[in-house]
């Protein structure tokens, strides 16, 4: 069967969509249940007779065998699109920090959200990257979302961070915690002291219901966005899992600024 350039384009789009949705084999075995009508409609819109689908599938299969490099890119694009869809309805709330839990420019035009855990070694390693980003981007606001999921000591460390935010000393406590040993009672107290907190007031604040609600909200955000570990970042329409390094974060910040 001869296809016009327009038809070839549709074939490629259909092929990528099929593989991104679960591979061609999945499509062939479940199209009657999950995708047959939709694909038929797409082919009809392109002016391709659905009766010729078998021939088209052969072309799709051959193309993908000859060009397997398109598959990772297709999957990446699908995942990015799905992440953007999950992020869109909660973005405004996500970028609104717990009062004081901000690094960089509090009035910055570009917002980078980081989910972090003081027991996370990768979060510790990302501190320098975030500091470098802040230094290079005067318009960058970094909203910290405490996500205490790694160790039992993560929770009291996160609560003390929010208490530090209430006293206007979040950045100092954040830096002191990651500069010191892993969280435990001694290291949390030491970091709070180094940051200049009123310890009695901070310990009382850490027990407040709004602190508990903030942590619960962060856990809910993570579930909704498909985040299962730290660090994880959200900026613009992107969700970026893992300690990806300064360069990739800068690219995302630049894209958010342009967008």
User: Could you tell me if residue 83 is inside a domain?
Assistant: no
Residues of the chain with pLDDT under 50: 1, 3, 19-34
Distance from C-alpha of 244 to C-alpha of 255, rounded to nearest angstrom: 16
The range of the structural domain enclosing residue 30 comes to 5-68
User: Could you tell me if residue 166 is inside a domain?
Assistant: yes
CATH number at residue 235: 3.40.30.10
Is pTM beyond 0.75? Reply is: no
Statement to judge: residues 200 and 142 lie in one domain: yes
User: Could you tell me if residue 74 is inside a domain?
Assistant: no
Number of CB atoms found within 10 A of residue 236's CB: 19
Per-residue pLDDT at 95: 97
User: Could you tell me if residue 131 is inside a domain?
Assistant: yes
Statement to judge: residues 216 and 165 lie in one domain: yes
Statement to judge: residues 178 and 247 lie in one domain: yes
Question: What is the count of structural domains for the chain?
Answer: 2
Q: What is the pLDDT of residues 22-32, one digit of tens each?
A: 444 444 444 44
User: Could you tell me if residue 128 is inside a domain?
Assistant: yes
User: Could you tell me if residue 197 is inside a domain?
Assistant: yes
Distance from C-alpha of 13 to C-alpha of 77, rounded to nearest angstrom: 12
Question: According to the 3-state scheme, what is the secondary structure of 211-257?
Answer: HHHHHHHHHHHHHHHCCCCCCEEEECCEEEECCCCHHHHHHHHHHHH
User: Could you tell me if residue 80 is inside a domain?
Assistant: no
Q: What is the pLDDT of residues 44-88, one digit of tens each?
A: 666 666 666 667 667 666 766 776 776 666 655 656 677 678 889
Domain end position, chosen among 30, 53, 68: 68
Statement to judge: residues 142 and 216 lie in one domain: yes
Statement to judge: residues 20 and 127 lie in one domain: no
């Amino acid at each position: 069967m001869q296809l016009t350039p327009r038809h070839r384009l549709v074939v490629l789009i259909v092929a990528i969509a099929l593989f991104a949705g679960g591979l061609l084999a999945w499509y062939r075995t479940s199209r009657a249940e999950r995708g047959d009508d939709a694909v038929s409609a797409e082919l009809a819109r392109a002016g391709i007779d659905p009766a010729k689908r078998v021939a088209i599938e052969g072309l799709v299969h051959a193309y993908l065998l000859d060009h397997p490099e398109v598959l990772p890119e297709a999957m990446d694009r699908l995942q990015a699109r799905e992440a953007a869809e999950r992020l869109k309805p909660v973005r405004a709330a996500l970028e609104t920090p717990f009062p004081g839990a901000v690094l960089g420019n509090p009035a910055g035009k570009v917002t980078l959200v980081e989910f972090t855990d003081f027991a996370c070694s990768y979060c510790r390693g990302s501190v320098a990257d975030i500091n470098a980003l802040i230094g290079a981007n005067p318009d960058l606001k970094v909203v910290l979302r405490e996500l205490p999921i790694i160790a039992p000591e993560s929770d009291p460390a996160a609560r003390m961070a929010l208490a530090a935010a209430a006293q206007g000393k979040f950045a100092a406590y954040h830096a002191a915690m990651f500069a010191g040993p892993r969280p435990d009672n001694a290291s949390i107290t030491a970091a709070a002291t180094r940051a200049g907190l009123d310890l009695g007031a901070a310990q009382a604040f850490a027990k407040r219901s709004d602190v508990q609600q903030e942590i619960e909200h962060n856990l809910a955000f993570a579930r909704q966005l498909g985040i299962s570990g730290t660090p994880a970042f959200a900026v613009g329409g992107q969700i970026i899992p893992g300690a990806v390094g300064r360069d990739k974060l800068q690219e995302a910040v630049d894209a958010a600024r342009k967008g």
